[in-house]
Amino acid sequence: MFDDPDANTHHVVSNNVDDKAEARWRKELAETNKLTPAIVDSIITYHGDRGTRAIEAVSEKRVKRYRDFTVVVGHHDEYIVEAGGCTCKDSLYNLDPTDPTQCCWHVLATAVAERIGAIDYHDMWYSDVHDFLS
């Protein structure tokens, strides 16, 4: 693992969203750097089961940043989160890509982990790790 010099300045999942409730919890996380009960309630109220799964992934340290990608480890596969989007089937088939407030739990987990400093950094290329594991 290594210290990411851009950890506090670069977010794969932006704070810039039009929805006030979504922007509020992201801003509060960025300001407090921790998951408070009120923020957890906001995320779960706003995102339901996706929010719950995201918080679980963060608490289990399943959000990993490599040199080339941010990856969220799911129960059956790993999903690449990039520029606020994800490679999971939920993102591909169930969510409106033109609505920035709709996001899968992998994107939510990345947003939370980035803002509270819970990213697991690896000084290697994910493409090399993925090829090795496949």
State pTM to two decimals: 0.83
Beta-bridged to residue 63, according to DSSP, are: 72
pLDDT digits (tens, 9 = 90+) for 102-111: 889 999 999 9
Q: Is residue 64 within a helix (H) or strand (E), and if so which, with residue range?
A: strand 63-65
Nearest-5° angle of CA 8, CA 74, CA 96?
A: 75
- Distance separating alpha carbons of residues 43 and 65, to the nearest angstrom: 22
Give me the percent of the chain exceeding a pLDDT of 90. 51
Residue 15 near residue 9, CB atoms below 8 Å: no
Across 83-98, b (16+ Cβ under 10 Å) vs e yields ebbbbbebbeeebeee
Nearest-5° angle of CA 75, CA 85, CA 73?
A: 20
- Distance separating alpha carbons of residues 28 and 76, to the nearest angstrom: 31
- Cα 13 to Cα 86, 107, 134, distances in angstroms: 10, 7, 27
Give the tokens for residue 77: 């596969």
- In this model, does residue 3 exceed pLDDT 50? no
Residue 63 near residue 47, CB atoms below 8 Å: no
Segment 124-133 shows an average pLDDT of 77
